[in-house]
């Protein structure tokens, strides 16, 4: 990418939880090896490559075969999986690179940031560890941070989150997500303290809804219509009726929005590179969904349902926004 080059009209920023995107090999450094040929999930090479092919075809389809500027993903095992997806498929023509650190998750799944070198230049990255002062033994996924230059040498700060899940129950895990929210907000505040109008994007599977206290109150992300002058963060996914679909994941008959993209108000107010709430959407291509005979309507075309192999895409839908260039 040449800094100062003529920018396009817009660039897509996306996030997708890839649902247990493991390689099929035994990892001797991990105690969890269920996604292997002899593991409980019977994760063979053919199943891995079917999953990889499903993912790349989906990304090409919803990006309309153009480069995605920045794409956050989670539930990725390692560099092998990223290389297989972004460097060994037709996606390679978009010059994708990635940021990934091996994290502490028990199952070995991590967040990653993929970016097109045609759109952004990486300046710096780090994995921000999850540390809970109230529970020092608690382990969860890192928050991944990267800083980029764009076409016009604007700086974009990006965070990819995969907050602790509700697997053990909501009340039992709410404090874990509160802790993750405090860690993310502290890092955002440290950037804004130096650059008050910093352009920051937080994306991820927050394992909670936009109206939850951890997102609204602790992280401080609200819909634009409710933001006061003092508020810093705008949740572009806080008003689901504007997003084109009911939610990003389904539990029984209920759709919810766990996958969200949040930005600083400076990215909405900017006259160089900016975004609007009308450009936020839940990607719901037909092939990502299938008929739901039990709870009616549609459900996700996922890879597994418990131990049962289904051969689909993911148990989450992707989300995206547009970064636009030029004056409004």
Domains defined for the chain, CATH in brackets: 10-325 (3.60.10.10)
pLDDT at site 328:
59
Burial state string for 240-258 with b = 16 or more CB within 10 A and e = fewer than 16:
beebebbbbbbeeeebebb
3-class SS at 61?
helix
Contact 1, 151 (CB under 8 A): yes
Q: What is the dihedral of CA 150, 82, 313, 30, to 10 degrees?
A: -130
Tens digits of pLDDT across the chain (328 residues): 545 566 789 999 999 999 999 999 999 889 999 999 999 999 999 999 999 999 999 999 999 999 999 999 999 999 999 999 999 999 999 999 999 999 999 999 999 999 999 999 999 999 999 999 999 999 999 999 999 999 888 999 999 999 999 766 676 789 999 999 999 999 999 999 999 999 999 999 999 999 999 999 999 999 999 999 999 999 999 999 999 999 999 999 999 999 999 999 999 988 889 999 999 999 999 999 999 999 999 999 999 999 999 999 999 999 999 999 976 5
Q: Which of 69, 34, 73 is nearest to 55 (CA)?
A: 73
Tell me the whole-structure pTM to 2 decimals. Answer: 0.97
Contact 216, 250 (CB under 8 A): no
Residue 239 corresponds to which tokens in the numbers above?
Answer: 């008003």
Q: Using alpha carbons only, how large is the chain's radius of gyration in Å?
A: 19
Name residues whose C-beta falls within 8 Å of residue 155's C-beta, 6 or more positions apart in sequence.
Answer: 123, 147, 148, 149, 195, 198, 199
Residue 185 corresponds to which tokens in the numbers above?
Answer: 């907000």
pLDDT at site 3:
52
Q: Which of 259, 232, 266 is nearest to 245 (CA)?
A: 259
Q: Which long-range contacts (CB under 8 A, 24 or more apart) does 306-315 make?
A: 307/40, 307/41, 309/41, 309/42, 309/47, 311/47, 311/50, 311/54, 312/54, 313/19, 313/54, 313/55, 313/58, 313/287, 313/288, 314/16, 314/17, 314/18, 314/19, 314/55, 314/288, 315/17, 315/19, 315/249
């Amino acid at each position: 990418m040449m800094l100062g080059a003529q920018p396009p009209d817009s660039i897509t920023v996306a996030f997708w939880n890839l649902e247990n995107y493991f390689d099929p090999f035994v990892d001797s450094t991990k105690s969890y090896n269920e996604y292997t040929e002899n593991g409980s999930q019977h994760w063979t090479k053919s199943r891995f490559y079917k999953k990889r092919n499903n993912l790349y075809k989906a990304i090409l389809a919803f990006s309309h075969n153009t480069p995605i500027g920045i794409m956050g993903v989670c539930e990725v095992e390692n560099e092998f999986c990223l290389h297989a997806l972004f460097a060994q498929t037709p996606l390679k023509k978009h010059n994708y690179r990635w940021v990934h650190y091996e994290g502490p998750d028990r199952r070995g799944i991590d967040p990653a940031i993929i970016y097109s070198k045609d759109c952004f230049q990486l300046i710096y990255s780090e994995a921000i560890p999850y540390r809970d002062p109230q529970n020092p033994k608690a382990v969860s996924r890192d928050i991944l941070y990267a800083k980029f230059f764009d076409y016009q040498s604007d700086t974009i700060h990006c965070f990819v989150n995969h907050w602790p899940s509700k697997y053990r129950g909501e009340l039992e895990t709410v404090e874990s997500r509160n802790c993750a929210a405090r860690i993310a907000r502290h890092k955002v505040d440290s950037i804004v303290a130096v650059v008050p109008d910093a352009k920051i994007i937080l994306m991820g599977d927050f394992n909670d809804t936009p109206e939850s206290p951890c997102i609204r109150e602790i992280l401080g992300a609200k819909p634009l219509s409710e933001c006061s002058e003092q508020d810093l963060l705008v949740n572009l996914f806080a008003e689901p009726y504007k997003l084109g679909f009911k939610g990003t994941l389904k539990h029984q008959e209920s759709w919810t929005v766990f996958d969200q993209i949040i930005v600083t108000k400076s990215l909405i107010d900017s006259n160089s590179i900016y975004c609007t709430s009308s450009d936020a959407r839940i990607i719901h291509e037909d092939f990502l969904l299938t008929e739901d005979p039990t709870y009616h309507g549609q459900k996700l075309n996922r890879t597994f349902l418990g131990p049962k192999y289904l051969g689909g895409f993911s148990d989450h839908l992707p989300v995206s926004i547009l970064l636009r260039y030029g004056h409004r």
